[in-house]
Structure 1
Amino acid sequence: MSDSQDAFVLHISHRDDALPKALESNDVVIGWSRAGELHDSDLDWNEFREIVHQEYHSDQDNYRRAGASAGNLWRFIREMEEGDLVVVPDGSEFYVAEVTGDAGYEPERIEEDTAHRRSVKWLNDGESILRGIARSALQSRMKARQTCVEATDLIDEIQDALEAAQSDEQPSFDSDLRQKLVQDTLEEMRTGRQDSFGFEKLVKSVLQSLGGENVTIVPRSKDQGADITALFTVADTFSFTVAAQAKHYRETPEVPPKDVEQLRDGMDAEGATLGWLVTSGTFSEETEELKNEIEDETGYEIQLVDGEQLAALIVDGGLRAASLTEDE
């Protein structure tokens, strides 16, 4: 068990009543069951991905789909640890579990595609929680198309949802108002008086509200893929640069994969290993797959921030008003 607690969002297939069975057996499960060799701890990432490629994507002439599938499995098998939290969406509800054991493999479950398993303790007495209780950032993460995604940055939101579910109180006026503010903010970003320049200034303000220093909009003439750069300092000792790309779309709500490639180029140019691709819209499955592939190839960390997540950051974190009106 690690010193720090991590969290994940895991989508469990409804095939053969996989979720009800998982709840009954105190397990979480993931698919790709034919790839049983993945539990060999000596495998490096390339070997791990190759097994998934050969089992499920051998008809592909590249590793994009294999990389996305392997990324889900890697997080489930290699990154989850005892004590971590797992959020399992189920329609308009979700469940939360605490991991209690190592990843295991049960070949007899290959046919039902639940051979990869981990034992868990279902929290909230195993009862589901209404999605409406969760904060928007957690609700947005639960919409991710990937099977298993990181959610460590949302541990506080997960704990808040558990506490709210265990109390006798219904969602308060404050929480209802907050949800409405998030949706109104999202709608205004998408349909209001906003252009690409204004959207860049909005993202700049969000980075400042999160503690960014020297937050700068890169002049269009010098733009090599990063629209905004920001410096973050941890414990007054360690500093790192974030390169952000802001994409404001009206008629194209899904960000195309080429924008991830542009961000990667911008990160190269700015010497940043952490990137933000921020949009008023959403991300296509192909964009998410390419993001995973670039992370695997470069070691970069790229965060995809969709419109709902951005709206929640604005409502929860607030903005520095002066930065919205200052001249660039």
Structure 2
Amino acid sequence: MAKYAWVIRPYPNGEYRMKEFLDKNIVAIGWQGIGDLSEVKTRDELKTAIQSYYHYESPQGLGQTLGCVSRFVLEMNEGDYVLVPDTQVVYIGKVTSGYQFDSSVDSDDKGYSHQRKVKWFYGKKAIPRNLLTGRLFDSLKGRQSVFTTFHEDVDDIVKNKEDYFKKQSDTNLKDEYLKRLQKGVVRNVNSNTFENVVGKLFSKYFPGLRRLGTSNSKKGDTDLLARLPGNVNVRIQVKHFYPEQGAIEPWVVDQLSDSMEIGDCGIIVTSGIVGEEAKVKANASKDKSISFIDGQEFVDILFENKDELTKEDLVEFGLISTLAFL
């Protein structure tokens, strides 16, 4: 049974090797020249092998290499899941061997000699990234060559291709949706897509609602804008926050407020919760109206409107989803 799920980049030695990964049923890392590591049993032995060939000017550089190679050689086990991100898709497989060394590709021009055998799922076809759970999607942004991610999310994808939600009643579904949204495990909904789904849902209330460019700074900023009759502007700030990482803080109020003019209506929409200090900050504004829609209210609004949403719309919200393959 798999205990871990590993993300592995398809660029050992800086060269794109996704084709080799699939054709040879392997995953691999670079660092050619340090030899066969089959007999290495400890990090100290691994450190010695690395330093015999590579020289680092800082302990941090050596530590990063040691960590990556150690995870691949010493920590990864047969039965673990592997995910290989490839632009907008991801390949998923299961480790079927211990560490192996292929001397035929232990060279500067090839450089993927440190390998493990893999059984690829889904006939070696890729899954679009946007069908992953939110937190799994976000974890792929890590830039290390080898690192762990959410095993239970990968296990659910492998074992349960049909969407979990459509098996439940609406009452249970709404509660479960909120719970999953705030844990970051709703398929299709993540930090990159939450603004899109908020825009789709609230366009039913504010016709002409459109996205604006964002800077991801703490300066004045609006994500969504609608101009209503009577020259009233509705400005919406969207924050995909997980409650475990904290509540909406006053700086979010300042960010929206600084983009508003007197008479504008502002709304802060979050998947998480709103802190008391942020509420006080919003109420203190005398000439700008700023309100909040937290995760609970967002889910309530979504389910109030779910019968008006198309099947394609629901897929964007992670309510009806069957894994698709490329």
Query: 8 Å contact 2:6–2:82 — kept in the other structure?
Result: yes
- CA deviation vs aligned residue, 1:297-325 (integer Å, no higher than 9, x gap): xxxxxxxxxxxxxxxxx73xx43766966
Secondary structure at the residue paired with 2:23?
helix
Which residue among 48, 52, 59 is the counterpart of 2:50? 52
* Residue ranges of structure 1 left out of the alignment (5+ in a row): 169-173, 195-201, 210-245, 250-313
Q: In the TM superposition, what is the alpha-carbon distance from 1:20 to its structure 2 partner?
A: 0.8
Task: Read off the aligned partner of 1:83 and give its amino acid letter.
Answer: G
Q: Could you report, residue by residue, the CA deviation over 1:17-42 in whole angstroms, capped at 9, with x for unpaired residues?
A: 52211211111111112112433234
State the SS of the aligned residue for 1:149.
strand
Aligned twin of 1:206:
244
- Distance change >3 Å, CA 146–CA 208, structure 1 → 2: closer
Would the alpha carbon gap of residues 66 and 18 (structure 1) be closer, same or farther in structure 2, given more than 3 Å must change? same
Contact 2:37–2:101 (8 Å) recurs in 1: no
1:156 aligns with: 152
Name the counterpart of 1:106. Answer: 102
Does 1:132 find its partner at 2:145? Answer: no
- For residues 1-328 of structure 1, what are the structure 2 equivalents within 5 Å? 5-13=3-11, 18-42=17-41, 44-56=42-54, 58=55, 60-111=56-107, 112-151=110-149, 154-162=150-158, 166=161, 175=187, 180-181=193-194, 190-191=217-218, 206=244, 315=271, 318-319=272-273
Tell me the CA shift for residue 205 of structure 1: 5.0
RMSD: 3.9
State the 1:142 CA deviation.
Answer: 1.5
TM-score (norm 1): 0.51
Q: CA 1:89–1:4 in structure 2 vs 1: closer, same or farther (change >3 Å)?
A: closer
More strand by share: 1
Residues 51-109 of structure 1: per-residue CA shift (max 9 Å, x gap): 213312x2x34322121011111001111101100100111111011011101111121
Structure 2 SS opposite 1:39: coil
Question: Would you say the 8 A contact 2:134–2:188 is kept in 1?
Answer: no
Query: What secondary structure, in the 3-state scheme, does the structure 2 residue paired with 1:88 have?
Result: strand
Output the TM-score relative to the length of structure 2. Answer: 0.52
- Which amino acid is 2:48 matched to? E
Q: Distance in 1 between matches of 2:22 and 2:242?
A: 43
SS at match of 1:38: coil
Shift of the 190–122 alpha-carbon distance from structure 1 to 2, 3 Å rule, reads same
**2:11 corresponds to which letter in structure 1?**
S
Residue type of the partner of 1:119? Answer: K
Percent sequence identity over aligned pairs: 21
Q: 1:38 to 1:67 in 2, by over 3 A?
A: farther
Q: Whole-Å Cα distance in 1 between the matches of residues 36 and 82 of structure 2?
A: 24
Query: Any unmatched runs of 5+ in structure 2?
Result: 164-185, 199-213, 222-239, 253-269, 282-326
Evaluate the alpha carbon distance shift between residue 81 and residue 191 of structure 1 in structure 2; reply closer, same or farther with a 3 A threshold.
same
Q: Quick one: distance in 1 between partners of 2:242 and 2:125?
A: 40
| 1-structure distance, mates of 2:114, 2:218 | 44
Aligned to 2:236: none
